[in-house]
Amino acid sequence: MSRSPARIAHDQALSALRAKLAALPDGSPVRLAKPTSNLFRFREPPPAGALDVSAFAGVLHVDPVARTAEVGGMTTYEDLVDATLPHGLMPTVVPQLKTITLGGAVAGLGIESTSFRAGMPHEAVLELEILTPAGEVVVARPDNEHRDLYFGFPNSYGTLGYALRLLIELAPVRPYVALRHVGYGSAAACAAAIQDVDASVDFVDGTVFARDEQYLTLGTFTDEAPWVSDYTGGRIYYHSVRDRAEDYLTVRDYLWRWDTDWFWCSKALGAQHPLVRRLWPRRYLRSDVYRRIVALDRRYGLSARVDRLLGNPEREPVIQDIEVPVERLAEFLEFFDTEIGIRPVWLCPVRLREPTGWPLYPMPPHRLFVNVGFWATVPLRPGQRPGHHNRLIEAKVTELGGHKSLYSDSYFDEDEFWRLYDGETYRKLKGTYDLDGRLPDLYAKCVGNR
């Protein structure tokens, strides 16, 4: 078959990247130079010899008949959605933030309000083209000689190689999404409602404002809307969850409803103050802008200095997503209210599609879990060391039979980490695809922050 110009350009970029990798000194570590990141394990900027992978950001082809897309691994979901919506299609799961990349969502997991039925983004992947640390390019599919890497790549966080091209399934859309915000007076009632969602619902997520104020937002595709709301400027989406029983959004605005205010985290940066809101350019009301501000603050300790000057206690970042079985959700939220106290928090039901599961994030297939997302800082009381609250959360999630995503700070000891994230399978993969250890292992990267 003849190759498209986009595929030819991709293959040329791949050859150039392999040559740059081959030119690195033997045994030297491999790092990528990426313009954006959605990780909260802040590291030093990549060194001068880091591999430039910007050429792998782009949609190579959309097939509206087969409902597939072929994309570069550094393609953002924002660009992918813009390419697929004109065909009446979207990725099966669209993570909440615009600059999350396809390769990042597959290597580091992702979730959103279709996950109660569609699972996670990696479950829509039909084929992965992966650059290994040795400079080899392998194509991994569920039915070929690299099926071990195909199933082991999710949750490997770039420690087994880099996804440079993906072939993914797409799902049909309609022009609008009709929303119902349904309130519940307890976590137990909310969890019961999650288990009883009607088959006609296309999207489910939730917002917890207090012990006795919890909402599920149920979204359904529709061809017509009596009105559409706009939360990309002055109005703030999460306020509407409390204020409106029903709402309508265009499908694109629905997919990015959380990005404008980074859920509710923009409040901590002043972006929700009415005066600041009027002066803040709309094009900068974006999650990637806020994250850069937070990264600068973390690097230079600006807010910590202010707290010290004011005599305020040291604060611990508690920025995590965890999953617990739906029947343990109320127990987790009770613990969370008592020990942590962050509000609001986000809820997102998820059930894996793949019947055999994914070894490095071993959730039982077809069992309903609920992702709980919380992103804030918590004051440390006298005698509490940094990481105190995160350690409490890790222990509770493990006790409840859940899992924690690894995009942020982690504190597991090494034996427990490998027990939770299938160290046996990981070591086999590492021995096959990174025998010389040019990339850090998963524990070193996600806990040691290498």
Q: Which tokens is 103 given?
A: 């390769």
3-class secondary structure per residue, the chain: CCCCHHHHHHHHHHHHHHHHHHHCCCCCCCCEECCCCCCCCCCCCCCCCCEECHHHCCEEEEECCCCEEEEECCCEHHHHHHHHHHHCEEECCCCCCCCCEHHHHHHHCCCCCCHHHHCCHHHHEEEEEEECCCCCEEEECCCCCCHHHHHHCCCCCCCCCEEEEEEEEEEECCCEEEEEEEEECCHHHHHHHHCCCCCCCCEEEEEEEECCEEEEEEEEEECCCCCCCCCCCCCCHHHHHHHCCEEEEEHHHHHCCCCCCCCCHHHHHCCCCHHHHHHCCHHHCCHHHHHHHHHHHHHHCHHHHHHHHHCCCCEEEEEEEEEEEHHHHHHHHHHHHHHCCCCCEEEEEECCCCCCCCCCCCCCCCCCEEEEEEEEEEECCCCCCCCHHHHHHHHHHHHCCCEECCCCCCCCCHHHHHHHCCHHHHHHHHHHHCCCCCCCCHHHHHCCCC
Average pLDDT over residues 207-214: 98
How would residue 43 be classed by pLDDT, with cut points 50, 70 and 90? low
Closest CA relative to residue 51, chosen from 39, 34, 35: 34
Give bridge partners of residue 73 from the DSSP assignment: none
Average pLDDT over residues 89-112: 96
How would residue 45 be classed by pLDDT, with cut points 50, 70 and 90? low
237-273 pLDDT, tens digit per residue, is 999 999 999 999 999 999 999 999 999 999 999 999 9
8 A C-beta contact, residue 155 and residue 358: yes
Predicted local distance difference test score (pLDDT) of residue 124: 97
Residue 415, number of CB atoms within 10 A of its CB: 10
8 A C-beta contact, residue 128 and residue 72: no
For the ranges 8-17, 22-31, 37-46, 166-175, which has the lowest average pLDDT? Answer: 37-46
Average pLDDT over residues 351-374: 93
pLDDT tops 70 at residue 42: no
Q: How far is CA 380 from the centre of its chain?
A: 27
Q: What percent of the chain has pLDDT over 90?
A: 83
Predicted local distance difference test score (pLDDT) of residue 40: 76
| Mean pLDDT, rounded, of the chain | 94
pLDDT tops 70 at residue 48: no
Instruction: Tell which wins on pLDDT, 334 or 34.
Output: 334
Average pLDDT over residues 220-224: 98
Closest CA relative to residue 409, chosen from 290, 301, 291, 317: 317
Predicted local distance difference test score (pLDDT) of residue 26: 77
8 A C-beta contact, residue 411 and residue 390: yes
User: What are all long-range contacts of 385-392, with beta carbons under 8 Å and residues at least 24 apart?
Assistant: 386/314, 386/316, 387/316, 387/411, 388/316, 389/316, 389/318, 389/339, 389/340, 390/316, 390/318, 390/320, 392/339, 392/340
User: How many alpha carbons lie under 13 Å from residue 268 in its C-beta half-sphere?
Assistant: 19
Q: What gap in Å lies between CA 65 and CA 22, rounded to an integer?
A: 39
Q: Decide the pairing of beta strands 51-52 and 32-33.
A: parallel
Q: Which tokens is 173 given?
A: 């859309």
Instruction: Tell which wins on pLDDT, 187 or 2.
Output: 187
Average pLDDT over residues 283-294: 94
8 A C-beta contact, residue 354 and residue 361: no
CATH fold for the domain made of 5-173: 3.30.465
Q: Which residue has the tokens 């991994």?
A: 140
Average pLDDT over residues 109-138: 96
Q: What gap in Å lies between CA 361 and CA 149, rounded to an integer?
A: 14
Q: What gap in Å lies between CA 21 and CA 24, rounded to an integer?
A: 5
pLDDT tops 80 at residue 388: yes
Global pTM exceeds 0.85? yes
pLDDT tops 90 at residue 390: yes
How would residue 449 be classed by pLDDT, with cut points 50, 70 and 90? confident
Predicted local distance difference test score (pLDDT) of residue 2: 56
Average pLDDT over residues 89-115: 96
Q: Which tokens is 16 given?
A: 């150039």
Predicted local distance difference test score (pLDDT) of residue 303: 87
Q: What gap in Å lies between CA 165 and CA 74, rounded to an integer?
A: 8
Q: What percent of the chain has pLDDT over 70?
A: 97
User: Could you tell me the residue ranges of all domains in the chain?
Assistant: 5-173
Closest CA relative to residue 188, chosen from 325, 330, 326, 328: 330
The amino acid occupying position 54 is S
Q: Decide the pairing of beta strands 246-250 and 369-379.
A: unpaired
Between vectors from CA 80 to CA 121 and to CA 361, what angle results, nearest 5°? 15
155: phi > 0 → left, psi -120 to 50 → alpha, else beta; which? left
Closest CA relative to residue 137, chosen from 118, 165, 172, 109: 165
Predicted local distance difference test score (pLDDT) of residue 39: 77
How would residue 287 be classed by pLDDT, with cut points 50, 70 and 90? very high
